[in-house]
Structure 1
């Protein structure tokens, strides 16, 4: 699978560990930054990752900042992106099963390395159930369009 990775300085170390893990699993990685622990603005890197997903260059994304909140807010501003902030195995699994999340977001200062790798594994291996959940995702898009026109 082609996966885009992005982080800010607070997520850099965890991003690098996830990248190494994904490479051992045979995934193709697009790393859009950042490149060190030096302070940067997370929206810049989050948006670069989102562009890769929306253009079809990547199938899924993994975004990491200090808490994951900033990257989640950034990613979910874009139609077609379903970013899930996860810090436990249950939410990672359900984000795929029920929400067809295409972006996993984690907090580099919240989630430890072992748990983060487990969340990534769950996120990539769990299929979308479809059915009633697909209907609900379409409803979200429809309702968002109505709000946009208000």
Structure 2
């Protein structure tokens, strides 16, 4: 699987741990920054990663900031993205099974590297259930996205 990953200044250290972890799992990783402590704007990195996912250049995306909140808000503004902010193992599995998420947001200041790695492993390995009720709900989300999209 090809994974696009991005972080702001509050999440780059965790990103630097996650990139080799993803590679060890056999995934191709596109690291889209940032790589420093200097303050940057999280929406810039969220949009860059989400563009890669929407364009099909990446199968999934991972975003990391201090809490994951800002990244998840920005990501969910992009048509075609279903981003979940996850800090526990149950949610990592449920968001794939029930919501077919294609982007994962994490908070470096909220969880440590070990928990982050396990969340990512579960999230990447869990398929969408494709059950009728879950598919129907995801389709309703897509309809909302289309209804409120600024794009024609």
TM-score by length of 2: 0.94
Q: Note closer, same or farther for the CA distance 1:39–1:98 as it changes in structure 2 (3 Å cut).
A: same
Q: Note closer, same or farther for the CA distance 1:148–1:56 as it changes in structure 2 (3 Å cut).
A: closer
Map 1:1-150 → 2, pairs under 5 A: 1-131=1-131, 132-147=133-148
Question: Residues of 2 paired with 1:144 and 1:25: CA distance?
Answer: 33
Unaligned runs of 5+ in 2: none
Detail structure 1 runs of 4+ shifted over 2 Å in the superposition.
143-149
Is the CA contact 2:47–2:78 (under 8 Å) kept in the aligned structure 1? no
TM-score by length of 1: 0.95
Question: Residues of 2 paired with 1:73 and 1:143: CA distance?
Answer: 16
Unaligned runs of 5+ in 1: none
- Which moves more between the two structures, 45-54 or 33-42? 33-42
Instruction: For residues 97-126 of structure 1, give each alpha carbon's deviation from its aligned partner in whole angstroms, at most 9, with x where no partner exists.
Output: 000010110001101110000000000000
Considering only aligned residues, what root-mean-square deviation do their CA atoms show, in Å?
1.3
Question: Secondary structure of 1:63's match?
Answer: strand
Is the CA contact 1:6–1:46 (under 8 Å) kept in the aligned structure 2? yes
